[in-house]
Amino acid sequence: MRRPLIHATFLLAVLGIGLLIGTVTRPDGWYAALAKPTFNPPNWVFGPVWSLLYVMIAIAGARTFEGVPRRGFGLWLGQMALNFAWTPVFFGLHRAGLALAIILGLLITILTFIANRWRADRTAALLFVPYAAWVAFASALNASIVVLN
């Protein structure tokens, strides 16, 4: 019974906080007015992609939390803090340059998590691979917005 409760808690926390942050800091007129690169996807893509990624992130987090010892859990917590910080900085504060620094730190932390978990829990590591790819893409988008504006 303990395992399902841990997984449910992680799913509710990660999805809940992610959706709350996304709802409170929706793209506004500032974002609409920015020059964007040609590879910028339509706004409707971000919600479904992040929802799926948050489920994968939560499962990897629960698996890492359950592990004994909990090696890698600090990395998981660190990437969550950076993940949750990016949206308010970019969309709320309109600080694209600072957001770029955050997302690059996030990407490094994700890649470090993958490397850390690769032997100990390959499933948790593999759950982070699409996340790393998306954050690399989002980093390119963020960098392009900084350069274009």
Residue 1, pLDDT score: 63
Domains of the chain, by residue range, sit at 2-148
Q: What percent of the chain has pLDDT over 90?
A: 90
User: Which residues, 6+ apart, have CB-to-CB distance to 57 below 8 Å?
Assistant: 14, 79, 80, 83, 127, 128, 131
C-alpha separations of 140 from 31, 62, 122, 143 in Å: 16, 29, 27, 5
Tokens of 13: 């926390």
Please determine, for residue 57, whether its predicted confidence score (pLDDT) is greater than 90: yes
Between CA 123 and CA 35, with CA 47 as vertex, the angle to 5 degrees is 115
Interval 5-46: pLDDT, tens: 999 999 999 999 999 998 888 889 999 999 999 999 999 999
Average pLDDT, the chain: 95
As its CATH architecture, domain 2-148 has: Up-down Bundle (1.20)
